[in-house]
Structure 1
């Protein structure tokens, strides 16, 4: 059994790695999708790229990063970020584009600008789809963070792989249980954020 201090440090590293990659993915995704609202060609290019990256196995993505930028924390962040692009892009795209067209037309009719429509109409109605994608991406990032231990990403991955190598069930569980706990926490925390952001009239 590893020391509690080591486990806490590994868990903190895992959280930082997961949240950094997820945040980077969201910061890349959201502006691109907003721009794609006004360009069908850009939307098509973004969706194709995200689908292409998603089609590549996670291990291959991690391995591909190494010859490009080496090993360590930042390569691990990039590898995870690439894997979480599709759910965030796809769900944000679907959420923003599937808003009832009558709402959009009515908003234009009362003189709202495109930005006001995006802020007050499209986004609130798209929150369920957007957050479903973010929650899936968060859980995906959490699991892939384990795999990035192979390229020096740190976190709980090294503990799990060491346990697997030595057939040490206790060590495996020591690494796996916090990963499961983090996944549950991610799902719960983003559900709470969604609940707080969603206007009362849109809540079921």
Structure 2
């Protein structure tokens, strides 16, 4: 039987790792997507990199980081940021760049600057694509955070791998069930936030 305190401590560590990485990824993705609007070269590099990197298995990224950065919480954090960055920046850029040209022309016609068009016109229309990317990245970081226990990040992944190694179903479930619950709750929370933001921006 796994102690409740152990599960809670592992859950808190898991949440701190997975969703601090998500916040960093969002903070990096939005400026990168905005910059890509003004540079076709940068947009091409970002989109090509996003498409290629998404095809790389998560475990391969974990293995690649270890020789460069070692093991522990912070190398695991970098793995998760890299994994979350791509879907967020890709979806944000798609949402910002696929705005109806007629709407942009109308915004220019009433005297809005490029910056005002980006934040007042493009972003409200890009919210659905942006949130789709964030929600996907949230699920991704939650799952990859389990894998990073292999490189010493701690959290629920430790319990899961301990359960697998010792063929202990209780320990395995003590790690897996909270990870699943966290993913469901975070996705529901982001969905609620999306509805609120889209409604207020409408």
Classify the TM-score, shorter chain: over 0.9
Structure 1 stretch displaced more, 193-202 or 49-58: 193-202
Classify the secondary structure of the residue corresponding to 1:71: coil
| Aligned ranges 1:173-184 → 2 under 5 Å | 173-184=173-184
Deviation at residue 162 of structure 1 after TM alignment: 0.4
Deviation at residue 199 of structure 1 after TM alignment: 4.1
CA distance in 2, matches of 1:167, 1:68: 32
Structure 1 unaligned runs (5+)?
A: none
CA distance in 2, matches of 1:192, 1:73: 30
CA distance in 2, matches of 1:200, 1:17: 31
Partner residue, 2:35: 35
CA distance in 2, matches of 1:165, 1:172: 9
RMSD: 1.2
Deviation at residue 38 of structure 1 after TM alignment: 0.5
1:6-60 C-alpha deviation (Å, 9 max, x unpaired): 1100000000001111111111111111001110100111112222222221111
CA distance in 2, matches of 1:51, 1:82: 13
Partner residue, 2:192: 192
Number of residue pairs the alignment of both structures matches: 202
Partner residue, 1:163: 163
Structure 2 unaligned runs (5+)?
A: none
Partner residue, 2:102: 102
Classify the secondary structure of the residue corresponding to 1:112: coil
Deviation at residue 200 of structure 1 after TM alignment: 4.4
Partner residue, 1:142: 142
CA distance in 1, matches of 2:201, 2:118: 17
| Aligned ranges 1:73-92 → 2 under 5 Å | 73-92=73-92
1:99-151 C-alpha deviation (Å, 9 max, x unpaired): 11111100000001111111111001100110011000000000000000000
* TM-score normalised to structure 1 length: 0.95
CA distance in 2, matches of 1:52, 1:155: 29
